[in-house]
Each structure stands twice: as structure tokens, then as C-alpha cells.
Structure 1
Amino acid sequence: MDQVTVVGAGQAGASCVAKLRTDGFGGKITLIGDEAVPPYQRPPLSKAYLLGDMALDRLFLRPEAWYAENNIDLRLGAAVEAVDAGEKTLRLAGEILSYDALVIATGSSPRRLPAKIGGDLAGVHVVRDLADVDAMEPEVTEGRRALIVGGGYIGLEAAAVARKRGMDVTLIEAAPRILGRVAAEETADYMRALHEGHGVTILEGVGIDHLTGAEGKVVGAVLSNCADMRVDMVIVGIGITPNTALAEMAGVACNNGIVTDLKGRTSDPAIWAAGDCTSLSYRGERIRLESVQNAIDQAEAVAKNILGADEDYVPKPWFWSDQYDLKLQIAGLSTGYDYVAVRDGGKARSHWYYAGDTLLAVDAMNDPRGYMIGKRLIEAGKSPSAEIVADPNSDLKALLKT
């Protein structure tokens, strides 16, 4: 193995090349990114960075000089035009690169509103990369009116930042309630009350009919309930789709993401994948894990397996969201739950998801202790009784010893 090429210079791509070097790979490493800046953290973009609390250089995962110092050929602002899996080559503008192992870490792209309903008007934004946030930042100012489309975590985080910047904020969710795909009613109720307490207007079961514009700029929105509202900007948070074009070009199997085996290898033995773009196996099902930690862990597992470790990657799902003075931490995946145990400790609160007697996940609101214990229980395959965890006087830590 002489040459490893990684396409996608996000968290997964950067983690993969770093792990290759720290684990002793001495061959050529090329990291290709389509943005003009070195790999950076994405979670702070829509929070601390947009608020002006984090400078650009603090976003970078490592100084740009680090890549040269570690003999990593970092190609920025570069797009892969074609891949020849038979010849094991990639074509960039005017150049052919060879590889022995190719890692696809191309991430995902935000869904946008269709152009026919005004999605292409100026002032309509998505939140995914640095350019997105830099474009919207001048518009997130006190006294202006923001419409947030989508009541998932991206939309809620955007609403929180807009309110902290003094904007008049309305959030709409086409489904019957916010967080409908990812959280229980108990968590949705808590988050709704939090936002309404900070002055956000939340409309559930309401979608967009169309946006209106003047001189190419959004100025209003007509909602599905026929309400007509004036807006100065729109932030769209209606989900993401995996970037699989390169994998499809290479003839690699894709199904709601690039299909990988337990080692992170695709249907082509020389091609691997990691991060948001992948479809991986978890508890016997195919899922996509859209989280920073999965991008890091999966990419490092892929690097180790390229070097011959032959180890299965076992995801340990966890997520977080910062909104106002709330830190929401989530351990596990709640898919398939049929009961939620609520542990109300006053300022600290947690929701524990069960399928029968099996603990699946925990949502912890300003409750780091509940989160850490729940995470350790889930990873250990332990399921305390719902009655015990719902009792705020019970000793959660003692459950780790049983």
C-alpha cells in the first residue's frame, strides 16, 4: 500500500488522514476538499461562529501548516471530475491521481426549497458550510424578521441564534409537531416551551406554499394555512441528503448513502467510505448517523482497517445541541421506542426511551450526569427499570454496578 487518497476534507476526511499518519502509514496521503479553507468544525458554525463568539481560525481542526508538516498533500478548492475504479485513478482539473486505497468522505448536502416556490431568491439560506453562514451573517441582525422552515434540531438552533441576535422569529414545521422524526413528544414539548419562552412563534402542521420576492430578494411567505407574512430572511432546515455522486461514478453500491460493510469498505474492495455519506450497519439495520462523533470514529476505524487491523466498527451514537442556555445531550438511537420514562430533577431533566424493557436512548436537558450514565448503560447493554430512572431520588450511578 503506497498511496491513500481521501476525497472530502470535512471532519471524517481530516480524521482519517490524521489516523493514518499517527498509526504509522509512511506512504503518500492526498486529502481533497472542494472548499478553499482547511478542514474545520461544523457544529459551531450556526452557533458560536454566527454569534461572533468564535473567530474563523478557531474553527480549523488543525493549522494548515500541519498537513505539510505531516507530509499530507492537501488539495483545497479542488473537485473530482471523474473516477476510474478499474484503473484506480481520479481526475481533477488537468491532473490524474492514482490510489491504492480511496476513502470517500464527501458528507451530505442540505435539502433546499424548490426554485418554483421561491427557493432560489436571495435571502433564502441553508446551514451547512462556512460559505452558507458567512452569507447569512449580515442578515441576522436585530429587528429583522426571520422565517425558519423546519422544526428539527437545525431549525431550532437557527431560531435560538436569531432570537439571541434580536430578530423576530417564526418557525414552521409541516409535520404535526417539531422533532417528529427524532424525539418523543416529551422532548418536543420541552423544546417548544423553551423557544416560546424566548419569544419564538412556532407553527406546527404548517408548511410553505410559496415565497414572494422583490428585485430577486425574498420579502414574504405564503404559508399552507393561507397566512401571508412579511419576512426579511428565510433559513431552511428540512434535512440533508448524502453526497453519493462520486461513489456512483465509481460503480459503488449506494442505498440512502454509500453502503459499507462492518469494516467501512464499500462494494469495491479498494474503496472505503466514512461519515454522513455512508449507510452502515447498526443493530441489524441500515442507518446513516449524522453526527460529528460518528464521522471521527468511523473514519479512524477505516484508517486502521486500511492498514490491516480487520476490526468491525461498532457505532456509539451520541449527539448534542446548544440552544439558549440549554445543553441537550442525546445518547443512543430512539428508533422503535414504545415508552418514555421522564426523570425530572428540576433544572436537570432527562427522557429515557424504552422498547419493552430495553433501554434505547436518553435525551438529557442540562443533565450531564444523566447523559453520561445513560450513555454508559446503553453501551454496556444494561437496561435499568423505567420506574427507577423516573424516580429523581434514585441513585443513577448505582445502576452501573448492577
Structure 2
Amino acid sequence: MAATPPLLIVGASYAGVQLAASAREFGFEERIVIVGDELHAPYQRPPLSKGLLTGKTGVDQLQLRGPGFFEQNRIELQLGRRAESLDAGARTLRLDNGDLLDYGWLALATGARCRPFARPGAKLDGVLELRTLDDALRLAQAAERTQRACVIGGGFIGLEVAAALRSRGAAVSVIEAQPQLLARALPPAMSAYVANAHRRRGVELLAGRGVRALHGEQGRVAAVELDDGQRIDCDLVVLGIGVLPNAELAQQAGIAVDNGILVDMLGRSSAPRVLAAGDVANMALPAAAGVPARMRLESIQSANDGAKALASLVVGREQPCTAVPWFWSDQFDLKFQMAGLAAPGDEVVLRGDMDGDRFSVFHLRQGTLVAAQSVNRPAEHMLSRKLIGARAAAGASQLADKSFDLKSLVPKMAEAMAA
């Protein structure tokens, strides 16, 4: 009797590992195989731009799961292998070593890669990007001798790297093409706060500026030339200009792709028994006013939540992904925590003191709390996630009043407190 084809997962990522773990937890008994193109065992990514770069986190602390986890859960790892082609009709996947693997379910958790930097000088020594552990190790080694660094891109990764390098004593300039930092992720007031927080800690910010070229001396980067001709001397350039989803495998197989693999809230692609989760998945969202029909959410929690939805599907107990998306970022002594999906036109309410680096910014849409960003207020962040998930009604004056008990806005909490 032929063996049942396995659950085959491409990508030893957060989404890939969470899918395997959740499938076992939900009772999946067939083989599970994870194919990863890196030689490293699955590892945590947030410390790459934070603790590993500052020296507070060692490589031995990065394991995503304990050493016995995969063996105990009968999860087979094939590391250092790249998926070359997919035949969705035959349900087979070909690897770079020629192996042909069949599958019962295929999950693509291939993540994303750094966006190419198409400027003269991009290949000079000392021009680095940050996506993988090997990238981070190269950057950490370079940081030990860096005196003057330029970070190109004012997104979360770029700002985390800037904060880490500045904390190590380097002079740091951040160059951002948009007029404000994090323009797509934060409202203007929060964006201005982040910029001021970095400036107060000694980071030079150049917003609304493009890069014309990188210049080197003896093959190593020595300066960044801006679009107006200004040159900034540096001995290290870090590229943080965003990522592109690794959706080529699906696209070549004829699976629907548009800024990632198009999937529903269970992770189903346009091909039978082919799923996707994590940074590569452009997942459908629950219908709500002011929210797009689908989005590619680049966060660990979204990867984990999406993977759990996939796992529910493969065991026949469908639980679509409806979790409130959330994200965090550590920069200097600031912990940024964000929940929900903000939109232009939201009513924005401040609670707390921006000058004191302890506050929350809430977003109301038609009287309902839909998103929040917090700085050094973890309890408010946790409560915000519950409020957003409960579609709690709130008034701007209530949210702004620091003496008002936010717990009373959660319906179930209010009922429990009254009982």
C-alpha cells in the first residue's frame, strides 16, 4: 500500500514552522516535510536588527524551536535545499538537487527578499542588506569597526539598524525618499514623533531625499551621493528599502499572484491543495469599512496566525484567519507596539505624553476603535488588541483621559466587572 503523500512546506520560516507545529497540535498524523534554502536551523528574525546587532543576543539564542522539537514532532527538515519548480497538476515539487517530491498538501512559506538597489556603487564592499542570519552576521562584524554609517530607507528595519548602530557609538544618517518616515505605516503625528526621537538620540535624518550613487575608494564604499549632489562620507551603507515577495515558484506554476500569492482567509491559493502563509501571502481580510479586501502583512504574528488557519484546513476543522494584526519594533529605549489597521480619515486620539516617551495613539472609525500605536505602554497595547478584536465602541474623550479605565470598553470585561 502506497504511503500517503506528506504535508510539504517550502520555507523554514515562522509561517512554515508554525504550520508544522499547529498541524501536529491539531492532530495531523501524516508526514510533514519542511524544505528550507538556508543551512541554518529555523531561527528568530527580530533579534537580527536588534539584539544581535547590539551584541545583547548571541547566535546560540536565536533558535526558533528547541533542539528536540522537530524530532519529537516527527517534522523532517531538508535544509540547504531550494525548490526549483512546481507542478500543481501532478502535485510534485522539484528541488535544486533533482529530487522530485510529491505532496498531499503543499504550503508555500517562502517569505520575501530585499528589494534590489539599482544605483551605481551598489556592489561596493561595505554595502550591506539585512534579511537573513548570514546578512546579520556580516553586518554585526562590520558594525564593530564602523565610525560613520548611512542607512538608506526609513522603514522599521532601517530605523532599528540605525538605532543599533548609534547605540554602538557610530555616527548615523538615515536617508528616506518619502517626505516622512514610515509614511505607509503610521499617521503623521506618530511619524513626526519617531523622527524627533531619533534626532534627539543623535541620528541625522534626511527625508524627502533620493540617492544618486554610492562612491568608493579602493573598492570599498566611502560616500553616498544624494539627488541634489550632496555627499555624505561613510564607511558602511545599510540598505533598508523594502522587500519583494518570493512568489516566483507559484507564478511559474500558473497560480494567481499579485504582490504575493493570492489566498483566502484559510490560505488557499488558486491551485487545489496549494496554500500560502507569511510574507509571501497576499491574504484576504475580514470585510470592514476602510480596510482593503486583502493585504500582504509583513509581521511575525500575521505569519503565525495565517499558518494556524492553514493547519486548521489540512485537518478538516476550518478556522479562517480573523486575528487582529499586530507588530512591534524596538528602537533605542523605545518599544513601539502597533495593533489593527489604520486608514486615512480615521479620528486620531492621543493618550499620554509624547514628550515623556510613554503614550498611545488610538484610531476611531465611525465610533469604533480600529487601530492603536503605543510607545512604552505594553499594557495599553495588549488591551488595545482586545478592544479592536471586540469592535469596541469608544469616545475620543474617553480614550484621551488617562484616568478613564479602558477595560470598561471591552463588553465581556464590563459584564464580568458588574457581576
Q: Is the 1:142–1:167 Cα contact (8 Å) retained in structure 2?
A: no
State the distance in 1 between where 2:145 and 2:134 align.
22
Q: Which residue of 2 aligns with 1:104?
A: 108
The partner residue of 2:186 within 173, 183, 186 is 183
Q: Which residue of 2 aligns with 1:395?
A: 405
Q: Is the 2:179–2:208 Cα contact (8 Å) retained in structure 1?
A: yes
State the distance in 1 between where 2:76 and 2:408 align.
50
One-letter code of the match for 2:306? Q
One-letter code of the match for 1:295? A
The partner residue of 1:327 within 335, 350, 356 is 335
Q: Which residue of 1 aligns with 2:175?
A: 172
Q: Which residue of 2 aligns with 1:357?
A: 367
Matches within 5 A, 1:201-216: 201-216=204-219
Alpha-carbon offset, residue 65 of structure 1: 4.1
Alpha-carbon offset, residue 54 of structure 1: 1.4
The partner residue of 1:309 within 311, 314, 317 is 317
Alpha-carbon offset, residue 288 of structure 1: 0.8
SS of equivalent residue, structure 1 residue 378: helix
Q: Which residue of 1 aligns with 2:256?
A: 253
Q: Is the 2:146–2:236 Cα contact (8 Å) retained in structure 1?
A: no
State the distance in 1 between where 2:8 and 2:117 align.
34
1:376 paired with 2:397, answer no
SS of equivalent residue, structure 1 residue 192: helix
1:295 paired with 2:303, answer yes
The partner residue of 1:227 within 227, 230, 233 is 230
When normalised by structure 1's length, the TM-score is 0.96
1:89 paired with 2:106, answer no
State the distance in 2 between where 1:167 and 1:360 align.
39
Alpha-carbon offset, residue 123 of structure 1: 1.2
Q: Which residue of 1 aligns with 2:25?
A: 22
Q: Is the 1:341–1:389 Cα contact (8 Å) retained in structure 2?
A: yes
One-letter code of the match for 1:369? A
Alpha-carbon offset, residue 250 of structure 1: 2.1
SS of equivalent residue, structure 2 residue 83: coil
Q: Which residue of 1 aligns with 2:270?
A: 267
State the distance in 2 between where 1:219 and 1:76 align.
37
State the distance in 2 between where 1:124 and 1:315 align.
38
SS of equivalent residue, structure 1 residue 364: strand
Q: Is the 1:186–1:351 Cα contact (8 Å) retained in structure 2?
A: no
Alpha-carbon offset, residue 68 of structure 1: 2.8
State the distance in 2 between where 1:2 and 1:141 align.
49
SS of equivalent residue, structure 2 residue 123: coil
Q: Is the 2:88–2:272 Cα contact (8 Å) retained in structure 1?
A: no
Alpha-carbon offset, residue 64 of structure 1: 4.2
State the distance in 2 between where 1:163 and 1:21 align.
43
Alpha-carbon offset, residue 152 of structure 1: 1.3
One-letter code of the match for 2:81? A
Matches within 5 A, 1:5-20: 5-20=8-23
SS of equivalent residue, structure 2 residue 374: strand
When normalised by structure 2's length, the TM-score is 0.92
The partner residue of 2:200 within 184, 197, 200 is 197
State the distance in 2 between where 1:329 and 1:146 align.
27
Q: Percent identity?
A: 40
One-letter code of the match for 2:382? M
Alpha-carbon offset, residue 94 of structure 1: 2.6
1:163 paired with 2:166, answer yes
State the distance in 2 between where 1:19 and 1:357 align.
36
Alpha-carbon offset, residue 262 of structure 1: 2.2
One-letter code of the match for 2:387? L
User: How many residues are treated as equivalent by the alignment?
Assistant: 401
RMSD between superposed Cα atoms in Å:
1.6
1:145 paired with 2:148, answer yes
Alpha-carbon offset, residue 180 of structure 1: 0.9
One-letter code of the match for 1:151? G
State the distance in 2 between where 1:252 and 1:398 align.
47
Alpha-carbon offset, residue 356 of structure 1: 4.0
Moved more, 159-168 or 133-142: 133-142
Alpha-carbon offset, residue 74 of structure 1: 0.4
Q: Is the 2:286–2:322 Cα contact (8 Å) retained in structure 1?
A: no
Structure 1: runs of 5 or more not aligned: none
Matches within 5 A, 1:64-83: 64-83=67-86
Q: Is the 2:5–2:102 Cα contact (8 Å) retained in structure 1?
A: no
Give a deviation string over 1:327-348, Cα, whole Å, max 9, x none.
1111101123433111124452
State the distance in 1 between where 2:26 and 2:364 align.
39
Give a deviation string over 1:227-269, Cα, whole Å, max 9, x none.
1111111111111111101111222111111011122111112
Q: Which residue of 2 aligns with 1:119?
A: 122
State the distance in 2 between where 1:76 and 1:270 align.
23
Q: Is the 1:337–1:354 Cα contact (8 Å) retained in structure 2?
A: no
One-letter code of the match for 1:353? H
Alpha-carbon offset, residue 176 of structure 1: 0.8
